[in-house]
Amino acid sequence: MSGATHAREQGSPLTFDNVSVRYAGRPTLALDHVSVVAEPGKMTAVVGPNGSGKSTLVRALLRRVALQSGRVTVGGVDVASLDAREVARRIAIVPQREEPVLPLRVEEFVALGRHARRSAFGGMSADDHAAVESAVARAGIAEAIGRRTDTLSGGEWQRVRIARALAQAAPVLVLDEPTTFLDIAHEMAVFELLDGLAQQGQTVLLVSHQLNLVARFAAHIVLLHRGTVAAAGDAEAVMRGEILERVYEWPLVVTRDPAVGAPALLPLRGSGRQRDRPSS
């Protein structure tokens, strides 16, 4: 894809507008009128404890669950009105769980990200090959490009999936827990990569448990609790002890990251809440 085309495709907001979802047989809504706006040029993060509805947002985007109310739009267009190929042109998604049906070479797997940009019967173009090479390099997995996916470690597999999403060259990138299985260095590398993409004008929506890294990197944070929005805003607005203790149902304090000064969550020992709290 040419640089001009890439530039035209930057700048698509992704919006969840009053989205409600109910799973069959469940008495309560998994998402209860949740609104999230991920804007171009920013990293937006959705956080919250297990069962708060984070991954349900991604399933709603993938159209794997029906919306009871609301809608999801990309660039102002209702995702429900787009076919799968057009969705893939606009949004690259790294789901939380995924296993290939058959083992593929890493290069072949990453090249699947180019499918929506190729003709039905066309082979890989020079631009396609260049996009794959760039994606594996940016994801830090270039050394594994000739290996089969069934020989990869958990961390390598996670980075290969990110590389496939990067190869799509979509203006919106959505990732559900992308740093699972990654060590500290690769975890930081992924956040640095996403931060760089956002600064270049891409729309980045991240679902993550890593509150302290989210506070460092995300411009906008949405905290979910039991299917509703408990707080939204920048790190200063969301990373507040009284809010986080209520949502996570665990004693904690919010301190300052010594490296960058961002708010940082410090969980306390449940059996010694008063003893572990720092004196004021």
Arithmetic mean of pLDDT, 235-261? 94
Q: Residue 207 and residue 95: Cα distance in Å, rounded?
A: 10
Return the domain boundaries, the chain: 3-276
What's the mean pLDDT in 208-226? 96
Residue 279 CA to residue 132 CA, distance in Å, equals 53
pLDDT in tens, 218-241: 999 999 999 999 999 999 999 999
How large is the average pLDDT for residues 109-133? 85
Flag whether pLDDT at 1 surpasses 90. no
57 has a pLDDT exceeding 80? yes
User: Rounded to whole angstroms, how far apart are CA atoms 70 and 67?
Assistant: 7
Q: Which CATH number fits domain 3-276: 3.40.50.720, 1.10.287.610, 3.40.50.300, 3.40.50.10130?
A: 3.40.50.300
pLDDT digits (tens, 9 = 90+) for 58-78: 999 999 999 999 999 999 999
Residues 6 or more apart in contact with residue 119 via CB below 8 angstroms: none
Strand order, beta sheet including 77-78:
31-38, 14-21, 69-74, 77-78
The kind and range of the H/E element at 86 are helix 84-90
* Mean pLDDT over each residue of the chain, to the nearest integer: 89
Contact 175, 194 (CB under 8 A): yes
